[in-house]
Amino acid sequence: MEYLGFVLFVLAGVSEAAMDKLQFHYDLSIFKNLKNQLFWNPQLSWKNKYKDSDPLKGEKFFLSKSLLVGFTDAWHLFKLLRTLFIFSGIYFLFTHCISQTNCLLYVIIARIIFGLSFTLFFRLFED
């Protein structure tokens, strides 16, 4: 079952890569070719949490600026997924630790897996 924990860290790395690609390299990414740019383009999508895309009008829907912000735009959705994958991965890894040494090894492997998946997908998300 600890393998599921490692898979979740791969998915966390993919989500982090998508976040960084959207935020820092959107114009060079595959995301710029997707429909609904109001969701994908971070220059536009950050306003989705507000009624009529106007910060002065307040939240678009209940908790759209806080707990439910992950459903307003791509960057926040990937952030939500990354966080869920990390916490779930920790749960699956540490419920299967046999010893402290075993747990430390899991942490090191999870960090390497996260970093490798981030690097791979950051490059794959280029246009």
Asked whether the beta carbons of 46 and 23 are under 8 A apart, the reply is: no
pLDDT of residue 98: 85
CA angle, 88 then 89 then 93, to 5°: 120
DSSP state of 50: B
- Judge whether 42 lies within some domain: no
pLDDT of residue 105: 94
- Judge whether 81 lies within some domain: yes
Where in the sequence is the domain holding 31, given as residue range(s)?
A: 2-35+70-124
Report d(CA 82, CA 88) in Å as an integer: 10
- Judge whether 51 lies within some domain: no
Instruction: Give mean pLDDT in consecutive 10-residue pieces for the chain, a chain of 127 residues.
Output: 92 98 97 96 96 96 96 98 97 89 93 98 96
pLDDT of residue 36: 94
E strand or H helix at 112: helix 100-124
- Judge whether 30 lies within some domain: yes
- CA 117 to chain CA centroid, Å, is 12
Give the residue carrying structure tokens 């991965």: 89
- Judge whether 102 lies within some domain: yes
pLDDT of residue 31: 97
- Judge whether 59 lies within some domain: no
pLDDT of residue 40: 98
- Of 17, 8, 6, which is closest to residue 110 (Cα–Cα)? 6
- Judge whether 76 lies within some domain: yes
Q: Per the structure block, which two tokens stand in for 36?
A: 């609904």
* Number of structural domains in the chain: 1
Report d(CA 97, CA 75) in Å as an integer: 33
Report d(CA 40, CA 21) in Å as an integer: 11
pLDDT of residue 1: 74
- Judge whether 41 lies within some domain: no
